[in-house]
């Protein structure tokens, strides 16, 4: 499974990139607003930090303006993946951009039927929002299972399942077990995945025993 970092905070992306865990980055208008920075500048800076896809979302909702915005975003760097909503106009934009060689991330997916449409439109990634389904008492992982099952029937489809709205480490594990291609994960959740009390306990014991030897490596 590939890991994308779901943030627009440059310092968080840089820290995680140094671990070798970052295969890409996803952003959205809410994350850009939270960063307090200029949208285009942030996207350009992120693209310099990572080699993988960097999702940059259009702001418009109509096809002509989305297409114009998408083309502008795609010019920022070769690894920009233009993010569009799963609407009729969004899929028109997806088709036009993908046919011109631009990666497209179709977002706000909440059903397997929608995922089928996005794949037909040439999406590079489909982003089902599992956390938001959980919020309304629906098991978001059931959607991931359905999409993975459908896509597996058609191996010629290029669309990757990008699990979004990840809230905790179990979401990541469940998505990996179901065979999702990518999980886009907030930095805090990735750091939580490191944590286990036995790891901390074992390291403390090793450190204490080493100190008792009175030796040094350097």
Q: One of 2, 34, 75, 83 is an active-site residue; which one?
A: 83
- Per the CATH hierarchy, to which homologous superfamily does domain 2-213 belong? Aldolase class I (3.20.20.70)
* pLDDT of 31 above 90: no
- Bridge partners (DSSP) of residue 106 are 84, 126
Average pLDDT estimate for 20-30: 92
Residue 97, judged by CB atoms within 10 A of its CB (0-12, 13-18, 19+), counts as: buried
* pLDDT of 128 above 90: yes
Summarised one tens digit per residue, pLDDT across range 144-192 is 999 999 999 999 999 999 999 999 999 999 999 999 999 999 999 999 9
- Each domain of the chain, given as residue ranges in start order, spans 2-213
Distance CA 107, CA 84 (A): 6
83 labelled catalytic: yes
- pTM value > 0.85: yes
At residue 92, the pLDDT reads: 98
């Amino acid at each position: 499974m590939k890991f994308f970092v779901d943030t627009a905070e440059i310092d968080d992306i840089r820290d995680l990139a140094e671990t070798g865990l970052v295969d890409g980055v996803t952003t959205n208008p809410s994350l850009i607003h939270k960063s307090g920075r200029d949208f285009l500048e942030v996207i350009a800076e992120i693209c310099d930090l990572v080699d993988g896809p960097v999702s940059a979302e259009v702001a418009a909702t109509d096809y002509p303006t989305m297409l114009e915005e998408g083309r502008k975003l795609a010019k920022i760097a070769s690894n920009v993946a233009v993010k569009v909503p799963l609407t009729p106009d969004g899929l028109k934009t997806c088709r036009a951009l993908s046919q011109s060689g631009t990666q497209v991330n179709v977002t706000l997916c909440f059903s397997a039927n929608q995922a089928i449409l996005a794949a037909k439109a040439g999406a590079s990634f489909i982003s089902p929002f599992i956390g938001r389904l959980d919020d309304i008492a629906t098991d978001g992982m059931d959607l991931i299972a359905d999409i993975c099952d459908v896509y597996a029937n058609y191996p010629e489809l290029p669309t990757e399942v990008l699990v979004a709205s990840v809230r905790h480490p179990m979401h990541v594990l469940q998505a990996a077990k179901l065979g999702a291609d990518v999980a886009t994960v907030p930095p805090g959740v990735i750091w939580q995945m490191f944590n286990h009390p036995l790891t901390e306990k074992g390291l403390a014991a090793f450190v204490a025993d080493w100190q008792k030897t009175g030796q040094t490596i350097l």
